[in-house]
Amino acid sequence: MRKIICCIIGAALVLTLFPLAACGGETVGTSYDIKAEFLGEEDLLRCEMTSTVVNRTDNVFEKIPFELWANAYREGAKYRPVSELYAPAAYYDGESYGGIDIAEVEGGTFEIGGEDENILYVTPESPLYPDESATFTMKFDVRLARIDHRLGIGERTVTLSGFYPVLCALKDGSFYECVYSENGDPFVSDCADYRVELTVPAKYDVAGADLISKSNDKCVFLLEAKGVRDVAFVLSDAFTRIDKEACGVPVSYYCVDDTEPDRTLGIACEALEFCEENFGDYAYPRYTVVQTDFPYGGMEYPMLSMISASVAESGLPAVLVHETAHQWWYASVGSDQFCEAWQDEGLAEWTTALFLGSHPAYGGSYREMVNTSEKSYRAYFSVTAQLNGEADTRMSRPLTSYTGLYEYRNIAYDKGVILFDRIRDVAGEKKLIRGLKNYASQFKGKLASPADLIACLSDAGIRAEELIRSFTEGKCVI
């Protein structure tokens, strides 16, 4: 997820129910071919999508569920995208609402359901048996709120993520439905192949896609990506772009007001090289960093990291490294971000500490970052215990169970850092990195459970099951 600072048609969409290959350039069973047009004067994204769902399980499906993340921005949503603390900064022009309107689904019937109108249930004309397929054509509009966030029209940038219906991931053989959460990233998805054609007014540049045609009033951008967990784009008429290379891939930086863009791009390249050296090859053919109007430090997507324009210069290295680390811990190796947020956030944050330990020029150190996490966590525990009589320190729990970003930050990030530091103390840094490199390799393109992580560490000679469970179940005393 984001690095939190305290106080995203038609052709064909082939959807199979298991990822058939690893993320990062390899063809997988699921594919999305999307056509969308941003109608700036209407604050609208108009889309068309044809989907073919292939049942590669042993089950019979009478309904096919798709997540509707955009509906979290509608008026009256139960699970809002922004907390009360960040709402004043995010809704820069006052209260604003969006949402997704499904106009039609050919090939079956549909209904909007889920706990918070967050699921599109599509019923095929007949039940979908193993090895059978069903094709649906969807037309929908996404109303964009005026908000500095993951999806919406910001002050200087337009962010498009989670704008399309995405097939619910499979977990333990069943479809996994998640609601939105203002705490963390509720997005759990299997890898897919994407072809996205995005038409925008001619004044806009698009970070995350390539320009393929231009007229007097419109530009068309294209992204083709194989084996990625999701896609996102950022639009602006104020971008400056610079380019470099790292790990043999092009790295681009789009900014709106960075006074030292070369420094920012340099840090991103160093972070990419550091993670590749320690955890294995970068999985994708490109990497884009984009400065956005965003209320938090940053937000990660495969091949793209958003960095808030409000990040202070001193904090920029940590944000850049954290989001870049997510190219391994989230984009390539997926996990249940809804119930096991520590598994990618804590690991990305610990990776940041590791980076700072080997790059003292950025003014931090490994031990300093770990100590800061411990101090923050202990303060959280003390205050919460005094106020409530106890503190819920479980790391394995739904995002919706957190009382707010303060608790979420301390549990998923700070306690996550402490956990991986404790494993490092027991096993040694080299052995831990070897285990994590094994984890990155074995679960590339998959959704890994905590047990999968434990098994990979065990293969490297690290017996960490009891330690990890004591942390995730809230039994350890720090």
Residue 225 near residue 193, CB atoms below 8 Å = yes
Taking the complete model, does pTM exceed 0.75, yes or no? yes
DSSP assignment of 81-93: SS-TTTHHHHSBT
- Which structure tokens are listed for 342? 């520590």
Q: Identify the CA nearest to 372 among candidates 421, 329, 325, 326.
A: 421
- C-alpha to C-alpha distances, 93 to 78, 120, 146, 147, 155, nearest whole angstrom: 22, 30, 7, 8, 9
Residue 417 near residue 346, CB atoms below 8 Å = yes
Residue 300 near residue 327, CB atoms below 8 Å = yes
Number of H helices, E strands in the chain: 10, 25
Looking at residue 43, what is its pLDDT? 98
Looking at residue 166, what is its pLDDT? 92
> CATH assignment of 13-235, given 3.40.50.720, 3.20.20.70, 3.30.9.10, 2.60.40.1730?
2.60.40.1730
Question: What does the alpha-carbon distance between residue 220 and residue 383 come to, in Å, rounded to a whole number?
Answer: 53
Q: What's the full length of the chain, in residues?
A: 478
Looking at residue 5, what is its pLDDT? 37
Q: Provide block-wise average pLDDT over 10 residues at a time, the chain (478 residues).
A: 39 32 46 94 95 80 95 97 92 97 95 98 92 88 98 98 93 90 96 93 98 97 95 98 98 97 98 98 97 94 97 96 98 98 98 97 95 97 89 96 96 98 97 98 97 98 97 94
Residue type, 138: M
Question: What does the alpha-carbon distance between residue 234 and residue 130 come to, in Å, rounded to a whole number?
Answer: 39
DSSP 410: I
Residue 372 main-chain phi, psi, to 5 deg: -65, -40
Question: What does the alpha-carbon distance between residue 287 and residue 270 come to, in Å, rounded to a whole number?
Answer: 12
Bridge partner list, 140: 47, 102
Question: What does the alpha-carbon distance between residue 260 and residue 277 come to, in Å, rounded to a whole number?
Answer: 26
- Chain-centroid distance, C-alpha 151: 13
Domain segments of the chain as ranges: 13-235, 241-332, 353-472
DSSP 168: P
Looking at residue 1, what is its pLDDT? 56
Question: What does the alpha-carbon distance between residue 66 and residue 47 come to, in Å, rounded to a whole number?
Answer: 15
> CATH assignment of 241-332, given 1.10.390.10, 1.10.340.30, 1.20.1260.10, 3.40.80.10?
1.10.390.10
